[in-house]
Each structure stands twice: as structure tokens, then as C-alpha cells.
Amino acid sequence: MPAARCCGSHASVFTVDKLFDQVPGESHESYIGWPCNPLLMVLRKFGAKEPQVAEGAYVDVSAQVIGDVRLKEGASVWPGAVVRADDDYVEIGRNSAVMDIAFIEAPKGMPVVVGNNCLVSHSARLHGCRLEDETMIGIGAIVLDGAIVGARSIIAAGSLVSPGTKIPAESVVVGAPGRITRQTTSADIDRLRNDLKAIARKVKVYRGES
């Protein structure tokens, strides 16, 4: 099985290469891994539900990843973010980033699926929704139960996607409640891709690889 490890005795981040790093002589049934501060729980079980973290995924030491969370290769969860899957599962796709203080929760019967190469910005909220590939959720934006955001779409900062809303692919949504104001452009998607590349470079620095 993969295992969690701390990157150095004074590290400020917690990189997750594997799960279930057992510390001899210590009991830690309620959480997985052993960050530098043993009181700080990063990857946490909920009953029989436990995070599944792919090789190369990254979780900051101050984040909380709880229950049936599935982080794919290259996914990252940043400081203060909470991803909680104690009722249903949350899946974060390849190379997608959940930024600082974001919150993701999957209520019963409503899993959250974040596609590949998505950016969930600072303080954004996802609840029981689905994001298709290459979607950007702006700072403080909210996407609620049953909503589906189509591929290569942007939800602008502070916007609200109401429950059950279906956002077509390549849409820019602004306002609360959100409305489509235009279609995304190639420049929009290039900006998202560049942002994700920059985030991936930062991961290497935090890990001490660069």
C-alpha cells in the first residue's frame, strides 16, 4: 500500500507519496500518516472510509483530507483547504489543484467529481457537484448540489452556481445567481494551463525537489 511521509523534521508541508505510514509504538487509528506535528491530522479516516492518494499527489500539512477522498496523480491540496468525504466520495482529477482555504464536501448521494486539470481557487466552495475537465472556479465562488460545470468553463470570483444548474462547456459564469456572460476563449484556457503549470512547479519547491 502507498504510505505517507513527512518531508524533514522542520518541514512546513506534508507531501503524500503513499498512505499508511505506520509509526512504531504509536496508535493512530483515526488518521493516516504522521506529519511532523503528531497532533496535526492531515489524512483522516472516517469509519471504514479512507483517502486514496496517487503517487505524486501533494497535500499541505495544514489541509484536511477526510474519508473517501480520491486524489489522482499530480493533484494538489493547499494550505487550510478541507476536502471532506464522510458521506459520499470526492474525486480530484489528475493535475487538478484545490487552493488555500477551499472547501469541498460530498453529501450522501451526491459525490463531488473534479475533472482533470481543474483549478479550485482560494476560498471556493464545492458541494455535491461535478466539474468537467479544465474548469476554473474563481476565488470565493460556490457550486452547489447537483450542479454540473461543463469542460473548459470559468466560474468567476464570488459567483454562485445554484443547485441543479447545468453549465454548458466553454462558458463564463458571473454573478449570484450566476449567468453565462460569454464563451471562454483560447486565451482563457491557456491562462488556466499556465496557472496549473506554475502550481506544479511550486509543488516541487515545497518538496525540496527544485
State which amino acid sits at residue 98. Answer: V
CATH homologous superfamily of 14-206:
Hexapeptide repeat proteins (2.160.10.10)
pLDDT reported for residue 40: 45
pLDDT reported for residue 41: 62
pLDDT reported for residue 209: 81
Q: How far is Cα 141 from Cα 136, in angstroms, rounded to an integer?
A: 10
Positions of the chain with pLDDT lower than 50, given as ranges: 1-40
Cell of 36: 511532523
SS3 136: strand
pLDDT tens digit sequence for 41-77: 699 999 999 999 998 999 999 999 999 999 999 999 9
Owner of C-alpha cell 504510505? 3
Do the beta carbons of residue 110 and residue 90 sit within 8 Å? Answer: no
User: Which of 196, 146, 188, 138 is CA-nearest to residue 167?
Assistant: 146
Q: How far is Cα 155 from Cα 146, in angstroms, rounded to an integer?
A: 16
Residue spans per domain, the chain: 14-206
Owner of C-alpha cell 476565488? 139
User: Which of 54, 144, 59, 158 is CA-nearest to residue 105?
Assistant: 144
Strand 43-44 relative to strand 31-32, pairing: antiparallel
**The overall pTM is greater than 0.75:** yes
pLDDT reported for residue 185: 98
